[in-house]
Amino acid sequence: LACLVERFVAENEADSIPEPEKIDDGVLKDLDIEGSVDYGLTVTGLAGKDFGGMYAVKPLAVIRPAGADDVARVIRQALHSPTLTVAARGNGHSINGQAMAHHGLVIDMKSMGDNNRIDVNVSAMYADVGGGALWADVLKRCVLGYGLAPTSWTDYLDLTVGGTLSNAGVSGQAFRYGPQTSTVTELEVVTGNGERTVCSNSQNSELFFSVLGGLGQFGIITRARVLLQPAPDMVRWIRVVYSEFDEFTRDAELLVMSPESFDYVEGFVFVNSDDPVNGWPSVPLDSNHSFDPTHLPTNTGPVLYCLEVALHYHNHDHPSTVNMMVEKLLGQLRFIEPLMFEIDLTYMDFLLRVKRVEQMARDNGIWDAPHPWLNMFVSKRDIAAFNRIVFQNILKDGINGPMLTYPLIRSKWNNRSSVVLPKGEIFYLVALLRFSHAHPKESEINEMVAQNQEILQTCINNGFDFKLYLPHYKSTEEWKKHFGDQWGRFVERKSQFDPKAVLAPGQKIFTRNH
């Protein structure tokens, strides 16, 4: 583990990798597309990096497709070669090289130009959206143009539609609407066979469900039909604090299971200290608010819990109606009463809230530094033990970033999609969103990666029922374990839709064959 970063840095050294031009086996000479092919080192260098900042590989070329037909031409051309692979790259916000293709072709989905347009059908309440469109652009177009909005989001919106649908796409709305994969009704996909196909629940349904949460293994999403609902004008955003994990989870579960609830429910763990990043100051929503620790019980442990909720409302709603609803919903909860923080903001500002964090992190130089993030789903059965062993012990000093945890509901996920989940109706997202210094030493990153491994090993040793979200494994054997009894289905889908394993090689699930 200690040498993980060094190894990938070494792999990236110019002299250890042949210049991309020199390994072009000629297949690309016949590639006839409307878009462009770029072999330049600047472009290929960028496409060989991601948000995680720990992996770097050089692709042979970066393709900027003019549309779905170009995507199909590229895949068909790659099939003529015995070795070429093709990776769709959304916004490259993966952590572990999932959107990379070592010596392969990277398709820059964001550059699909007009094909990434967002067409809103007001009467049928859906938007047809290009696979390379950013969710932030979907939000702006739907809300500003039509007063409509998708139902289920991610916390951060500079992610592409195709990128999140290949995983799941979860945030505080997923308890009600399911992950983003549950809120699309039709896809246009170019399969690993190079076929451009429209699929849905009723048409080519096996392809439709394979691709949703399919880690890019079966096809490249060139268009998605996203369900819309009327957008609210405003949001009341509230954070309340708990010292006891069982009270925090009881209340979070009450809210996600009850028919009358907030419109958004998330939560996070923070350190019981005045540390500006990890501790009390990370909770207040406004610079005018402050966290008064004298309200904490004297026997409080090393970490505390924050339940984060939001209620949508319209400008025409009377303030007293909004207040009454908030009071009613909060009235059932057992948080530490004075430790409540709330602000009102527009719906767009609420959904774009992480963009402001990004700006601050960019200003501090930590946005572009490595991010050894760990995301997982832990069953309700094991989340209390996970809290004791992981949050209260291994992570008691924090991770220099958010430690999210909140419940999700299995029946809102379609079990025909390719995502695998822990057992039981309720499971928790655990997201360890680590930040390093602006110019970290390798040892700093290695320690974070090692702590992630320690957490995973602890979960295995304790027999916890968990699955990685945004999974990352390096061997087929580990992938087989990840998929468990769904492995057979996943392999069968691969043999049907991408039998030569051309697609998404950066996931390291299958090896290119001919």
Residues 153-172 that bind ligand FAD (CB under 6 A): 154-156, 159-160, 162-164, 166-171
Cβ contacts of 23-27, under 8 Å, gap ≥ 24? 23/60, 23/103, 24/60, 24/61, 25/81, 25/83, 25/84, 27/77, 27/78, 27/80, 27/81, 27/84
Print the SS3 string covering 471-499: CCCCCHHHHHHHHHHHHHHHHHHHHHHCC
Cβ at position 47, least distance to ligand FAD in Å: 10
Q: Within positions 120 to 149, which residues make up the interface with ligand FAD, using CB under 6 A?
A: 131
Residue 220 as a binder of ligand FAD (CB under 6 A): the answer is: yes
504 is an interface residue for ligand FAD by CB under 6 A: yes
Footprint (CB under 6 A) of ligand FAD, residues 463-482:
470
Q: Which 3 state secondary structure label does DSSP give 270?
A: strand
Instruction: Report CA 31 to chain centroid distance, whole Å.
Output: 33
Considering beta carbons, is residue 93 or 225 the nearer one to ligand FAD?
Answer: 93
Smallest distance from ligand FAD to CB 504, Å: 4
Q: What is the DSSP string of 276-341?
A: TTTSGGGS-SSTT----GGGS-TT--SEEEEEEEEEEE-TTS-HHHHHHHHHHHHHT--S-TT-EE
| CB closer to ligand FAD, 375 vs 387 | 375
Q: Which is nearer to ligand FAD, 367 or 487 (CB)?
A: 367
266 catalytically annotated: yes
Query: Which residue, 166, 133, 134, 171, is CA-closest to 151?
Result: 171
Of 50, 93, 108, 498, the catalytic one is 93
Q: Which is nearer to ligand FAD, 129 or 330 (CB)?
A: 129
- Please say whether the beta carbons of 395 and 329 come within 8 A: no
Inter-residue contact 178 to 169 (CB < 8 Å): no
The answer to whether 90 contacts ligand FAD (rule: CB under 6 A) is yes
Q: Is 351 in the site for ligand FAD (CB under 6 A)?
A: no
Residue type, 184: V
Q: Which is nearer to ligand FAD, 81 or 154 (CB)?
A: 154
Closer to ligand FAD by CB, 54 or 389: give it. 54
Are 48 and 57 a contacting pair, CB within 8 Å?
Answer: yes
Size of the site for ligand FAD (CB under 6 A): 35
Does 102 sit near ligand FAD (CB under 6 A)? no
**Angle at alpha carbon of residue 176, lines to 170 and 180, rounded to 5°:** 35
Give me the residues paired with residue 503 across strands.
Answer: 86
Catalytic residue among 155, 342, 344, 444: 155
Question: Is 155 part of the annotated catalytic residue set?
Answer: yes
- 195 has catalytic annotation: no
Report the interface residues with ligand FAD, using CB under 6 A: 51, 87-94, 98-99, 109, 131, 154-156, 159-160, 162-164, 166-171, 215-216, 220-221, 470, 504, 506-507
Q: Which residues are catalytic?
A: 93, 155, 266
